[in-house]
Amino acid sequence: MASTPVTKLTFEEYLTYDDGCGFHYELVDGRLELMNPPTIQHFLITKFLEQMLDGEIQRLGLPWLTFRETGTRTGKNKSRLTDLSVVTQEQARELINASAVFESPPLLIVEVVSPDSIKRDYRYKRSEYAAVEVPEYWIVDPLNEKISVLSLEEGFYEETVFIGNQQIGSRTFPEIAIAVGRVFSAGNLS
């Protein structure tokens, strides 16, 4: 992960920043951090989860939406890009003509781990998402074939790890039936 030559940005400057290159950046303590393009496996897993969550939202008639690669403000001059987030329609309505960076916490954030994001997904995002009170955070780890579901309890995440053919347990989607193995097999083209 490389940093750009821009020295410092405020959150407000970040919302309108465009270097003309089409790259995706996170804002970390006022510095832009370049995000490497995801792998095809990463895209396939994220797409599968998005379709599953969209199906559950539709089945239950919830006023929620799923989005890929939106931002979540996690501090004064911090914003993280999420692989997948679930937000209310009202949250989306507030940003209809603005940069898709949510300043109120999404209902659920999903991050798919890649070799260059291990520390970021397991450590930094975990603490930042808890600090802004994201109620549920999934760490989908194809490197170790496990899914960690973190539920916010009194400002800290309680973690439950799911492996193999276990069904993912979720407070946000208590009736969803997704086996861990099915999530990771979605990342294969065979």
**pTM of the predicted model as reported, rounded to 2 decimal places:** 0.91
Contact by Cβ (8 Å): 138, 111: yes
Choices 3.40.50.300, 3.40.50.620, 3.90.1570.10, 3.40.50.150: CATH for 38-185: 3.90.1570.10
Domain boundaries, the chain: 38-185
The string of pLDDT tens digits covering residues 23-69 is: 788 788 888 888 888 889 999 999 999 999 999 999 999 999 999 99
H or E element: which one contains 190? none
pLDDT at 39: 87
Output the CA torsion 57→61→65→68 (10° steps).
Answer: 20
Distance separating alpha carbons of residues 62 and 76, to the nearest angstrom: 31
The string of pLDDT tens digits covering residues 107-138 is: 999 999 998 888 999 999 999 999 999 999 99
Strand segments, DSSP code E, in 84-187 are 84-88, 101-102, 108-112, 136-141, 146-153, 156-163
Distance separating alpha carbons of residues 168 and 36, to the nearest angstrom: 28
* pLDDT of 2 strictly over 60: no
